[in-house]
Amino acid sequence: MGTIRSAPTPLSVGANVDTGDEFSEVLCFVSSPDRAAVYACPFREALDALGDPQKTIWINFLAPNEDHLAEVVSKLGFHELEVEDVFSPRSRAKVEEYPGHLFCVVPSLNLNPGADALDIINLNAFLGRNYLISAQRAPIGSVKRIREEMERGDPPLMRGADFVFYKLLDGVADEYLAASDRISEQLDEVEDRIFTKFDPGVSTTIFSLKHQAAWMRRRITPQRGLINTLTDRSHELISAETQVYLRDVHDHIHRVSDNLDTFHDLLQNALDVYLALSASRTNQVMKFLTVVGAIVLPLNVLTGLYGTNFAQLPGSSHPYGFWVFSAVLASAALTAILLIRSRKWL
């Protein structure tokens, strides 16, 4: 983690700000008035730059420090309900218009090592005419990628705060798209396990994938409305050029949503096929056991009859009685087999 710097620093060294919290970080970038250059700067300098309409500022809070965020709120006059949403992990996806800025909550997948596979990180964004303030409780990929672009010398901030906002949303949508592709790959494996190997454990995988798909669909559906709000009409804070890019995000979100609907149907079909094949295999086993029982039944009758404790039984004293009786048993079994085959039961 870096330290607060008192002067603008080259992008190559980054712009971490030590907030006094092990997990808290503030990332600040400022575009010069003519947008000819973007530089990383300390939080105080970025805060002062918010009062200059000729500059464009992006401030990102990781695990927001209430004191730092309070200074931004005081400077820009954000509503208390917006601030409450920033610190609430349960906020739903939404976009709200306030005087002079837009406030958005966008659920992003938590792809951090050791994180629960079904966990989200809310990306909170305040978009103004010349600034973007974003905050999230844990690292997300889209922020990391934008920072890398800044440090490579291709800063999206040079195209305006609304373009950085688009890049954040695009990164979130790409992560959902990648997650849906992973489900698709696992679905192919499920089909192979059903039709090629008939793995009894595949039902657990199917239910797990159905749960993942349903969970993602609950997260992605509200985002369709959010993106629609940003693209279906003009906004004074979003340029026409950026709206074209946002429509691409809109397409990605719809694609993910459509994929998840398809996965739901395919997984249900896979489960139905698995259950049908399982029932068919069980029926084959029962059929085999029934046939064996039908063959053995006359043998049980005859052996039971000759197993009684009468002193005299037909043929019991004959020297070839055992062999004759064995031949009778074999004939009875053969007759039962021929009868079963004639009825096409075997």
pLDDT confidence of residue 11: 36
- The answer on pLDDT for 59 being more than 90 is yes
pLDDT confidence of residue 168: 95
Residue 83: how many other CB atoms lie within 10 Å: 20
| pLDDT tens by residue, 5-38 | 333 333 333 344 444 444 468 888 888 776 567 8
| pLDDT tens by residue, 79-131 | 999 988 998 878 888 999 999 999 999 999 988 888 787 788 999 999 999 99
Tokens representing 152? 């490579």
pLDDT confidence of residue 308: 67
| pLDDT tens by residue, 158-202 | 889 999 999 999 999 999 999 999 999 999 899 888 888 788 888
Q: What is the mean pLDDT of residues 292-320?
A: 72
Model confidence band, residue 315 (pLDDT cutoffs 50, 70, 90): low
- pLDDT above 90 covers a percentage of the chain that reads 27
CA gap 173, 128 in Å, rounded: 22
- The answer on pLDDT for 314 being more than 50 is yes
pLDDT confidence of residue 296: 80
pLDDT confidence of residue 12: 32
Please give the radius of gyration of the chain, using alpha carbons only, rounded to the nearest integer: 35
Q: What 3-state class would DSSP assign to 268?
A: helix
CA gap 28, 10 in Å, rounded: 12
Residue 25: how many other CB atoms lie within 10 Å: 20
| pLDDT tens by residue, 124-151 | 999 999 999 999 999 999 999 998 888 8
- Domains annotated for the chain, with CATH where assigned, are 1-158 (3.30.460.20), 283-342 (1.20.58)
Collect all residues with Cβ–Cβ distance below 8 Å to 67 and sequence separation of at least 6: none
Tokens representing 194? 């059903």
Residue pair 18/39 in contact (Cβ under 8 Å)? The answer is no
| pLDDT tens by residue, 242-257 | 999 999 999 999 999 9
Mean pLDDT score of the chain: 82
- Which of 41-45, 58-62, 63-67 shows the lowest mean pLDDT across its residues? 63-67
